[in-house]
Amino acid sequence: MVELSLETVFELLGTRDIPGSAKELEKLCIRIRELVALNGVQWVKENRQNLLDEWNCIVGQGLIT
């Protein structure tokens, strides 16, 4: 599985305005890479708002340690 850069994740999610520390954003890159592998690029793009909403909730609750 090829790693996705943060720049690529920004493009897939359609925004650079994604909250999180460097460690949290690294975890986001891993998760988006997994979702691309499972569902494809188009699925990620079609579901980007839900993914961003979930990410905002995760970061807001401090669930990534």
| Strands in 1-65 per DSSP E | none
Q: Is residue 1 part of a domain?
A: no
Full domain range(s) for residue 32: 6-60
Q: Tell me the one-letter amino acid at 34.
A: E
- pLDDT level of residue 2 (50, 70, 90 thresholds): confident
pLDDT for 38 equals: 98
Domain count, the chain: 1
Inter-residue long-range contacts of 40-45, CB under 8 Å, 24+ positions, other chains counted: 41/12, 44/12, 44/13, 45/12, 45/14
Residue-wise pLDDT for 10-44, tens only, equals 999 999 999 999 999 999 999 999 999 999 999 99
Q: Is the residue at 65 inside a domain? A: no
What whole-number distance in Å separates Cα of residue 61 and Cα of residue 42?
28
At 61 the pLDDT is 95
In a domain, 21, yes or no: yes
Is 14 part of any domain? Answer: yes
